[in-house]
A = this chain, B = another copy of it.
Amino acid sequence: MTALHPRGVFSAALTPVTEAFAPDHALFVAHCLRLLAEGCDGIALLGTTGEANSFGSDERRALLEAVTAAGIAPDRLLPGTGVAAVGETVALTRHALSLGVTTVVMLPPFYYKGVTEDGLFAAYAEVMERLADPRLRVVLYHIPRMSAVPIPFPVIARLRAAYPGTFTGIKDSAGDLAHMEALVEAFPGLAVLAGADPLMLPLLRKGGAGCITATSNLVAADLAFVFRHFADPARATEVAAAQARIVAMRNRASRFAQMASLKALLAQRTGEDGWQRLRPPLLPLSAAERSVLLDG
């Protein structure tokens, strides 16, 4: 059996924005370096948590370039490149490849809803045919509550058969452990990554590959500890304690809007007020919410 790829703890990194709502490169690079230092295996930048679809293609490219220019190895980056228009998905993925990044997280085209399995397959196939780059590895991105375009099992099977060695993973952000376990069972060799922090541990026990998660922006060290030691009976107490902290932080950040909460907590931790801002249509917490969250 081939090793699962990607495998480990990947942070769905938050993106700080300037007062003009542009990605703040310096603050972001510092954040990525901190996440890696805390034990993340890599950074899944430009995803849902990273507000990627609130940024234009030029902004996305510039942010990825800033990260690689800062010396973060391309093989530790899993940028999101899937957008509504297949042609722009191709362009963003090609750009990532041009920087040496070979593994991307790819949303399905997400404007049209209720698309057929044939149509969804055709969209991903169109991207593959136009890129035709054997280095490329794709993590499918199943997040029906945001994309409103789920990725059904038959589509995964067809893509893996049609492009062997390319569709190596899936980020499952449906929030349902049973669905993740079913993926592990149905697709031997597919790296199934939990999209919710508390579910990484139970998923690892069933053969999952790790996580790409939001709370990791604040509990990366605990996630990394759980990932490395979950199977070691001698560490069971410490693993349980780390897992409890992960669950607690997830719950704390879910009382109000999750991304705004994570940003408020990160602003508090780093002392960088710039972390408070989100790009519309997302908004920062109100002063009252912030006060409840930070005192909590």
Contact = CB atoms under 8 A, between A and B. Distances in A.
Nearest to A109: B281
Interface string A131-151: 000000000000001111100
Copies assembled: 2
Contacts of A120: 281
A96 to B, nearest CB: 16
Q: Which of A112, A122, A123, A282 has the most B CB atoms < 10 Å from its CB?
A: A112
Given A111-B110, A126-B21, A148-B113, A88 B56 contact: yes
Given A53-B85, A109-B54, A111-B110, A281 B145 contact: no
A7 interface: no
A83 B109 CA distance: 13
A112 B282 contact: yes
A211 to B, nearest CB: 21
Nearest to A126: B280
B56 A85 contact: yes
Interface string A44-57: 00001000011111
A123 B84 contact: no
A115 interface: yes
Contact of A282 (B115, B280, B283): B115
Interface of A: 21, 48, 53-57, 59, 83-88, 91, 108-113, 115-116, 118-120, 122-123, 125-126, 145-149, 257, 279-283
16 contacts: A21-B87, A21-B126, A53-B109, A53-B111, A56-B91, A59-B85, A86-B279, A86-B280, A109-B281, A110-B110, A111-B146, A119-B280, A120-B281, A122-B281, A126-B280, A149-B281
